[in-house]
Amino acid sequence: MTRTATHSCTVPTDPFSPVPPAREAGPWHAVAVASPLPHSPGGTTRTGARRPAWIERILPVLVLVAVLWVVELVDLLTPLRLDAYGIRPRELAGLPGIVLAPFLHLGFGHLIANTSGLLVLGALLAWTTRHLWVVTVGVVLLSGLGVWVFGGSNTVVIGASGVVYGYAAFLAVYGFAARRFWQVLLGLLVILLYGGLLWGVLPLRAGVSWQGHLFGALAGVGIALWLGRRDREARAAAR
């Protein structure tokens, strides 16, 4: 869930204010190649171990989630007040928040809620396509820009749920765009399991950035249509 602090929460515009801001609640595929080391005196050769392919696939997702937890620990244990560096709509000082906001959360409850979606959907994306990083970077930038332009005035928006919505939307649409039967089935499964996310793109709850959810989903759909068509045309050209 991406959260936004509103007028009633008294959000300071200066991140160094003594009053803390109101806070709301292409695959990467590295292969470890075994390379023989010089023979030991006993005549034995030692080789490096190779991680299972599925671990190689999801390792970037695990690293991403680990970074989110480290950032939240730093925010909790230090006086840095990192949440002040989220997206501040239509403020030049808030532009860096487009990149920073997905790494910031309102406490561990907020982080846990986003962690589950990032792990499940991110793992599915990493396992089934070669586009984890393109989708992640694209969703972060496009959803963040949408929040910066259309978000509520005098608010600070933080949270990775825009990325969760982007992952879900991408997986739901990519199979149809790429015309891959098994990925269509995966998309239908994602729709079945995560269809309830649709309500999050509507302005139904105070303190929740529905704009982040909406633009995250739109970014996921747009990237899925683009990459799906490109992959479909590449397969046709290779025949």
Domains in the chain (CATH in brackets) are 3-26+50-238 (1.20.1540.10)
CB atoms within 10 A of CB 48: 10
| Eight-class DSSP state of 42 | T
Q: What is the pLDDT along the chain (239 residues), one digit of tens a residue?
A: 666 554 333 344 444 444 344 344 433 333 333 334 444 444 444 555 677 887 888 999 999 999 999 999 999 999 999 999 999 999 999 999 999 999 999 999 999 999 999 999 999 999 999 999 999 999 999 999 999 999 999 999 999 999 999 999 999 999 999 999 999 999 999 999 999 999 999 999 888 999 999 999 999 999 999 999 999 999 999 98
